[in-house]
Amino acid sequence: MPNSDLLPSLLFKIHENQLALEAAIMELSNWMEARGSADVAENVRGALDTLDRNEEFIKLTLAVLMTPE
């Protein structure tokens, strides 16, 4: 398998990791908020918005890269 064929798989795995980290961080944010750290939880959710904004572009790009030519 040429190295160029590995790129879509690598990007897909990085995207999966990003989604898993986002979910884990959101759980921690919810936990912090439940224990009285609403300001910190709000800041964390604000940072997670960046992941949400970029997710659609990442998915579309992966779809293009994984489509056979």
> Would you say 22 and 51 are in contact if contact means Cβ atoms under 8 Å apart?
yes
**Number of domains the chain contains:** 1
Determine the Cα–Cα distance for residues 37 and 52; give it in Å rounded to an integer.
23
Determine the Cα–Cα distance for residues 51 and 60; give it in Å rounded to an integer.
14
Rg value, the chain, Cα: 16
pLDDT grade, residue 67 (50/70/90)?
confident
- The alpha carbon dihedral of 47, 50, 51, 53 has a sign of positive
Q: Is the predicted pLDDT of residue 26 greater than 90, yes or no?
A: yes
Nearest 5 degrees, angle CA 69-CA 63-CA 15? 135
11: in domain: yes
24: in domain: yes
Average pLDDT, integer, range 21-42: 93
69: in domain: no
pLDDT of residue 6: 82
Q: What's the mean per-residue pLDDT of the chain?
A: 87
pLDDT of residue 1: 58
